[in-house]
Amino acid sequence: MPMDFKKKSKVNTGIPTSSLPDIVFLLLIFFMVTTVFKEFTGLQVILPSAQQVEKLRGKRDIAHLWADRSENVSIDDRLVTIEQIKDLMYQKRSDPTHPLRAVSMKIDQKVKMKLVSAIQEQLRKADALNIIYNAKPSS
Partner 1 sequence: MLTEKKKERVVEIPTSSMADIAFLILIFFIVCSTIDVSKGITLVLPAPGEEKQIREKNITNLLVNDAGLVLLDDQETELYAVKNVIRDKLAENNKLIVSVKTGVNTEYRIYIDVMDQLKQAFVLANLPARISIAEPDK
Q: Which residues bind partner 1 (CB under 8 A)?
A: 21-22, 25, 28, 37, 47-48, 50-56, 59, 62, 104-105, 107-114, 116-117, 120-121, 123-125, 127, 129-137
Give the single-character DSSP code of 102: E
Cβ–Cβ under 8 Å, residues 105 and 132: yes
Q: In sequence order, what are the residues at sequence separation of 6 or more whose Cβ sits closer than 8 angstroms to the Cβ of residue 104?
A: 56, 62, 63, 64, 65, 131, 132, 134
Question: What distance lies between CA 102 and its chain's CA centroid?
Answer: 13
Query: Smallest distance from the beta carbon of 97 to partner 1, in angstroms?
Result: 22
Query: 2, exposed or middle or buried, with CB in 10 Å at 0-12, 13-18, 19+?
Result: exposed
Query: Smallest distance from the beta carbon of 35 to partner 1, in angstroms?
Result: 12
Our CB check for partner 1 shows the closer of 77 and 127 to be: 127
Query: Smallest distance from the beta carbon of 19 to partner 1, in angstroms?
Result: 10
Report the residue count for the chain: 139
Cβ–Cβ under 8 Å, residues 128 and 103: yes
Query: Smallest distance from the beta carbon of 48 to partner 1, in angstroms?
Result: 4
